[in-house]
């Protein structure tokens, strides 16, 4: 599956009505099948770790019956934070595709670059800025309505 198509699937989820935030993630297996998805649920679950990426990675592990997500792609609408970038490394995700950069908390080349740190035992291929303007507009519109 192309990075654009993968990000498109995450964008479809992020556009669903009633979300806490328009941030969504999908995990795609090596065959190109979506095996998991997640949206931010911190408020709904009263869980500071309930980021879209974490929820998608957890579901993917359950689906595959393994914590190692070797060969999988994680696609997310916003650059992952330190926690989510670290989770992608620990899950052994092969590729991370993201849309909008996060200047305040991004850990995949923004403020930090956790997934490509040579001191870690696994590095993730990164495809950054995919459908960036779409992702940025979606987030800007959401926060504009909340102000």
Using CB atoms within 10 A of its CB, is residue 116 exposed (0-12), middle (13-18) or buried (19+)? middle
What is the Cα–Cα distance from 47 to 6, expressed in whole angstroms? Answer: 27
pLDDT tens for each residue of 4-13: 999 999 999 9
Q: What is the pTM of this model?
A: 0.95
Active site residues: 53
- Residues 6 or more apart from 33 whose CB is under 8 A from it? none
pLDDT at 145: 78
Confidence of residue 147 (pLDDT cuts 50, 70, 90): low
Q: At what angle do helices 132-146 and 3-14 cross, to 10 degrees?
A: 20
Distance of CA 24 to the CA centre of its chain: 7
What is the Cα–Cα distance from 145 to 53, expressed in whole angstroms? Answer: 24
Categorise residue 109: left if φ over 0, alpha if ψ from -120 to 50, beta otherwise. left
């Amino acid at each position: 599956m192309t990075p654009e198509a993968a990000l498109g699937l995450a964008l479809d989820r992020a556009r669903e009505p009633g979300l806490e935030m328009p941030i969504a993630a999908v995990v795609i297996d090596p065959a190109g099948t979506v095996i998991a998805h997640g949206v931010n649920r911190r408020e709904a679950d009263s869980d500071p770790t309930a980021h879209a990426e974490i929820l998608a990675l957890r579901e993917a592990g359950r689906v595959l019956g393994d914590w190692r997500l070797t060969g999988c792609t994680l696609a997310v609408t916003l650059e992952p934070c330190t926690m989510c970038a670290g989770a992608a490394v620990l899950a052994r995700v092969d590729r991370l595709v993201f849309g909008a950069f996060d200047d305040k908390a991004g850990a995949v080349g923004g403020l930090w670059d956790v997934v490509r740190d040579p001191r870690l035992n696994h590095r993730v291929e990164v495809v950054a800025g995919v459908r960036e303007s779409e992702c940025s507009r979606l987030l800007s519109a959401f926060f504009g309505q909340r102000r």
